[in-house]
Amino acid sequence: MSEPTFPIELTVNGVLREARAPARRLLSDFLRHDLGLTGTHVGCEHGVCGCCTVLLDGDPVRSCLTFAVTVAGHEITTVEGLAGPGGEPSTVQRAFHEEHALQCGFCTPGFLCTVTALLRDTPHPTDAEILEGISGNLCRCTGYQNIVRAVRRAAGEA
């Protein structure tokens, strides 16, 4: 009773990728284990913690609540795709570094994707908008203090 697999072709971080996976394969597992992009993390597998957040056609989604087969033909951006073409960190990545907005770094890829989309849509957020914007991502290390500062800094520098 071998499980049927399906071809999945999609663009990840600007590169066309193709792999086969069963229908039930989560996008998070597909990215991590089939494509080897382990920067996207899995913290709860029920869509609450936000660690697995990636950008699907530019919008943040929970990759642990998304089946890989459903995103065939779409564009995905993961944390590995946020830096510039020469590998230089993005404004958001740089701000997280400068403001000490990460400790263990496990939730960080999800925050980076979330904040990247937030600042694209709201380039000059108020503090309330920042809190609202990151309120779908859990962090257990930082108490969020420096994440909020980093978003402010990134907004100021964008």
Partner 1 sequence: MFGDPVVRREDPRLLAGQGRFLDDLGRNALAAAFVRSPHAHARILDIDVADALDVDGLVAVYTWEDLPGRVGEPLPLLIPHPALTHGRTAYPLARDVVRHVGEPVAMVVARDRYLAEDAAERVRVEYGTLPAVVGLENAAAAEHLVHDDVPGNVGAVLRQETGDVDAAIAAAPHVLEFRLDIERSASTPLEGRGVYARWDADDGSLRVYSSTQTSTSVRAAVATKLELPPGKVEVIAPDVGGGFGVKIVHPWPEEILVPWAARLLDREIKWTEDRREHFVASAHERAQIQYVRVGFDDAGRVLGLDVRILHDHGAYTPYGIIIPIVTSTQLLGPYKIGAYRAEVTSLYTNTLIVTPYRGAGRPQGVFCMERTMDRIARHLGRDRTEVRAVNFIRPDEFPYDQGLTFQDGRPLIYDSGDYPGLLAKIKELIGWDGFAAARAADPSRRLGIGLACYVEGTGVGPYEGGHVEIDPTGRVHVSTGLTSQGQGHQTAFAQIAAAELGVPLQDVHVVTGDTRRFGYAVGTFASRAAVMSGNAIALACRRVRAKALRVAGEALEADPADLEITDGVVHVRGDRSARLPLRTVAVLSNPLRYSFDAESAVATQFAVGGSPDEPPVPPGEEPGLEGRDYYSPVRSTFAAGMHAAIVETDPDTAEVRVLRYAVVHDCGRLINPRIVEGQIHGGVAQGIAGALYERMAYDASGQLVNASFMDFLMPYATEIPHIETDHQETPSPLNPLGVKGAGEAGVIPVSAVIAAAVEDAEGIEVNAMPLSPDDLFHLRRRAAGRCHPEPPG
The rounded distance, in Å, linking the Cα atoms of 97 and 151 is 11
Measuring CA to CA, which residue among 83, 78, 106, 111 is closest to residue 96? 111
Q: How far is the CB of 121 from partner 1 (least distance, A)?
A: 18
Q: How far is the CB of 79 from partner 1 (least distance, A)?
A: 4
58, 106, 133, 153 from 11: Cα distances, Å: 12, 24, 26, 30
Binding site for partner 1 (CB under 8 A): 1-3, 22, 24-25, 29, 32-33, 36-46, 48-49, 51, 78-80, 82-83, 87, 89, 93, 96-98, 100, 102-109, 112, 131-132, 134-148
The rounded distance, in Å, linking the Cα atoms of 72 and 76 is 10
Nearer to partner 1, 20 or 24 (CB): 24
Nearer to partner 1, 1 or 16 (CB): 1
The rounded distance, in Å, linking the Cα atoms of 22 and 71 is 13
The rounded distance, in Å, linking the Cα atoms of 65 and 46 is 7
Q: How far is the CB of 124 from partner 1 (least distance, A)?
A: 18
Number of other CB atoms surrounding residue 11 within 10 Å: 16
Q: How far is the CB of 73 from partner 1 (least distance, A)?
A: 24
Nearer to partner 1, 66 or 78 (CB): 78
Nearer to partner 1, 1 or 73 (CB): 1
Q: How far is the CB of 15 from partner 1 (least distance, A)?
A: 14
- Please list the residues that pair with 20 across neighbouring strands: 7
Nearer to partner 1, 100 or 120 (CB): 100
